[in-house]
Amino acid sequence: MNRLFATSLSFVLASSVVHLSAQYKQEEYQKYPVQKIFPKTKLDSAEAKAAIAVGETTIKGVAFTKPKTIYGYKAPLAERIYANHILIELFPLTPYYQEWYNLKKNEENLKKNKIVYMDRAAYKYRVTCETNSKGEFTFPKMKPGKYLIVGTLPWYNTKSYDQYTGSGYGNNGSVTDYYQRQYYSTTHSDFLMEVVEVPADKKEVKVKLN
């Protein structure tokens, strides 16, 4: 009887261990679950490849952003923040990329986790370059046509506040409060996107990416 009891107890303990190791882990709460949005237009690979073939026109541009106001708009009179050594990407504006551009501009809402994605196959057909410290970039030898230029510009701004450090008391009963200026930084990341057209009769086209 003792051996049978010990065997039964071992089985119960082993079952408990198995049950505990397979316990369910609850997913984190998300107010807005991620919604992945892809273009529905079929990618024409041959058309995209031909559009970024070697041409004779140079696209020159400058990438920058500006701080936003409390209403969410870029302050028109604020000083420019130039894209310091960031990657700039150029895509041919074929129907697929045109839809992606429209979705990105009108449907994407990062606060509600609505994110527009590009298919991996479509991402292959692009030309890239790196900006200099003044945000300047160049795409040489481009064909006539329309292109979509994008880039992500990280930047930060510094703010300050007065932190209370203590009080002093005078002989006459007066009280003086003392404060020390404290500084902190806020990081940002602005997605820049612009459509540019290269006419057949121009050797150079200039664009502002902001």
pLDDT at 13 over 70: no
Task: Determine phi and psi for 3, rounding to 5 degrees.
Answer: -65, -40
Q: Can you tell me the distance from the alpha carbon of 136 to that of 62, in angstroms, rounded to the nearest whole number?
A: 4
Report which of 190, 82, 67 is spatially closest to residue 131, judged by C-alpha positions.
82
pTM of this prediction? 0.77
Question: In whole angstroms, what is the distance from residue 174 CA to residue 168 CA?
Answer: 8
- Tell me the sheet residues that pair with 152: 191
Q: With contact defined as beta carbons under 8 Å apart, do 180 and 165 qualify?
A: yes
Using CA of residue 118, residue 120, residue 125, residue 126, what is the dihedral sign? positive
The answer to whether 55 touches 90, Cβ cutoff 8 Å, is no
Note the pLDDT tens digit of each residue in 28-54: 778 888 999 999 999 999 999 999 999
Asked if residue 164 has pLDDT above 70, the reply is yes
**Nearest Cα residue to 208 out of 26, 66, 47, 9:** 66
Burial of 126 (0-12, 13-18, 19+ CB in 10 A): middle
pLDDT at position 9: 44
CA distance 121 to 129: 20
* Full set of structural domains in the chain with CATH: 29-153+189-209 (2.60.40.10)
> What's the token pair of residue 148?
């979509």
What is the mean predicted confidence (pLDDT) over 49-66?
97
pLDDT tens digits along 87-134: 999 999 999 999 999 999 999 999 999 999 999 999 999 999 999 999
On whether the CB atoms of residues 154 and 187 are closer than 8 A, the answer is yes
Angle, vertex CA 143, rays to CA 198 and CA 57, nearest 5: 65
